[in-house]
Chains A and B, each alone.
Chain A
Amino acid sequence: MIDALAIVSIFCGLFFFLSGSIGLLRLPDLFSRLHALAKADNVGLALITLGIILIEPDPVNDIKLVATWLLVMASSAISSHLIARHALRESRDND
C-alpha cells in the first residue's frame, strides 16, 4: 500500500519534471520559461522526495532528504529571481 503510494508519487513527480522540460522548450519568453522551471520542477522534486521517503522511511535520511529539497527550492527560487531581474534590466536598457 505504502509502496503503491510511493510509486504513484514518483510518477507524478516525473510528470511534473517532464512538463517543466516541455515548458522550457516550447514557451515563447524567458519569463514564462522561468515559471516552468521554478515551479513545475520544484513540485516534481517535492513529489519524488515524498516517494523516496515513503519507500524506505529512516529518520536521519528523511531529514537529509527534506533538507535537500528545501535547499534546492530556495536556491532555484533565488536564481530564477536573479535571472529575471537581469533580463528585465537588459530589456529596459535596450529600449
Chain B
Amino acid sequence: MIAMLCSAGLAATPPEQLSVLADAVQEEIDRSMEQLKLPDQPGPYLVAVDLLDGDVATASASMGALVSTEHGPYRNGRVEVRVGSYELDNSNFDGGSITGGALSRPLPTDDAPGTADAVRQELWLSIDVAYKAAAETHAAKLAAREGVDAEFPPDLVPIAPLVTEPVGYVDADGARVEQVVTELSAAMASVPGMESAWAMAREWRGVRVLLSSEGHRAWLPAGFIVVRVEGQLRAPDGDLVTDGRWWVAPDWEHLQPLEVMAAEATSAASWTLAAAHRPAVDDYLGPVLFEGPAATELFRQLLAPQLSGSPPPSHGRDVFGSGVEQRPEARLGRRLLPEGWSVSDDPTADPEAAGAYAFDYEGVPARAVPLVEDGVLRGVLMSRIPRADLQASTGHGRSLGAERRVAMPAVVTVRPDKERSERQLRRKALALARQAGLDHVLVVRRIAPLATAEDGWTGDGLAPGLTPPLEAYRLYADGHTEPVRGLGFAGVDRRTLRDIAMAGHVGPLVGVMDGSPGPGRANIGTVGGLPASWAAPPVLIGELELRHCSGDEPRLIPPP
C-alpha cells in the first residue's frame, strides 16, 4: 500500500526525522523530572508527552463544487504532569486549576535544523504550566477529601513501559480528498429538487509517539479517512428533509470505492425526494423496527456509555454540592439487554476495521473484553484510570487532545440470543403493531449520527437520548411502504434496549467517529473524533414514542 501511494507522488516523513524530535522531548522530560519543583510542593512523579505528528487533508464541497480545501502538516504535543503518587495524584478531579495538569499545544511543523530546539522550548513552557496546575489541583483534591471517611481507588495503574521501533508515514492525499467530496456532492445534487448537497472528508495520516518518565518510547501509527455527505430538500409544507451517509476507514484501500459511495449519496437524495412528497405524519406510539444502519447507531449511542468503566472525575464542595465520590455510569451486574445477548470489544480482532489498533494511547496492549453476557454487564472497558472494583487497563485508553485518557469502545460486536430473518422480524413487528391498534409499523432505516445531530441535540435534549431518524417508513401488512418525515424520538435511554423484542442477523463492522464518554461526546465536529467500529443486528423494540418535530417554513422564492 505504501509503495503504491509513493508511486502516486505522495511525500513521506521518514522515522529518522521524528527520532530527533523524540530525543529532544525525552531530554526535556528527564530535566523536568530532575529539577522541576515548587517551594514546599512535591515535584512531579510522572511526566508524559504524546507527540502527534502527521499530515492532514480536509475538503468540503457543495452541490458538486469545492467550497474549502486545506492540506498541511500537523504537529501537537500533549503534556501530562502528575504530582503525588499513583495512589493519589492530581488527576481525575475537576477543580484547583483549569488544565488540571494536562494540556495540548501546537508544535512547529518544520523539518529544518533547529526544530528540535524549538519543540523543546515549547514543551518547556507547557510542562511548566502543567506542573503548576498539577500542584494546585493536587492540593485542591486533598482539601476536598479532608474529613471524608471513604475509600478511594488509586488514580493511575503502573504499567511496564512500551518501547517500539520508530515508524514514518506517507502524507495524506489531498487531491483525492477533494475529488471525493466534489463527486459525492455532485452525485447527491444530481437528484432534482435538492436544496443542498454537501460533502466533507478528512484524511489523517501520521504517528503518535509516546514518551514518558516511565520509560515509554513507542511509535504508534495513526490514521483514518472519514467521509460525510448530507443533503436536504424542502417539503411543500416547509419541512426540511435531511438524509446522509458517512464512511470511516483506516485507509483508502478499505474505504468504499467512490462509485459505491456516489451511488449511496444518490440513494440518500432520492430518499429525501420521496419523503418530501409524503404528507407529514403525526406522533407515533408503537413498535419500531430498526434496520441495520439504524440499529448500529442505536447501540452506539445508548450502549457506549455503559461499556466504559472509567469513573468520572470527582470535584470538591462547590455550588453544585459535594462530588468527592463519583460513581461510574457503567455498573457491573446491570441488565442492559435481554437474556441471551452478548457484547464484546476486541480492537485486535480485525486489523482492517476502522477502530482497530494494537496499543491504546497509553501504550497498553489492546485485548478482547467480554462485556455483556446473557444481557448483563459482566465486564467493562478500562484505561489506566482504575476504579474500586477494577484495576487493570484493557487497552482502551483513548481521548482527544488534553482530555483524560478514558476507556472508549474500539471494535464492538453486539450479538443477540437468536438471529431471525428479515421476514420474521417484519411479521413480528406487524403483529405488535396490531396489538397496539395500528395498521402499520414504523421502520427506521437510518438515524442521524450523534456528532452531526444539531450539536448532539436529540429528541430529549442534549445526549443521552437518541438522534432523530433520517430514513423511516411505514410498513403495512400487505407489504407496501410509505416514507415518513419529521419525527424525533422521545424518552429513549439505555433501558429501551431491554425492550428489544426480536433481532436479525449481525451486520458487518461499520466505521464511525466517536468522542470520549461524557457530555462532550457529541461535540466532536463533522469529521472530528476518533475512529471506532460497531457491528450489531437489526432489532425490533416493542414500544417507542416518536413526536412530530417540524418548524421550518416553505421557500418563498423558487430555486434557480
Co-complex (A, B): no
Residues of B bordering A, CB below 8 Å: none
Residues of A bordering B, CB below 8 Å: none
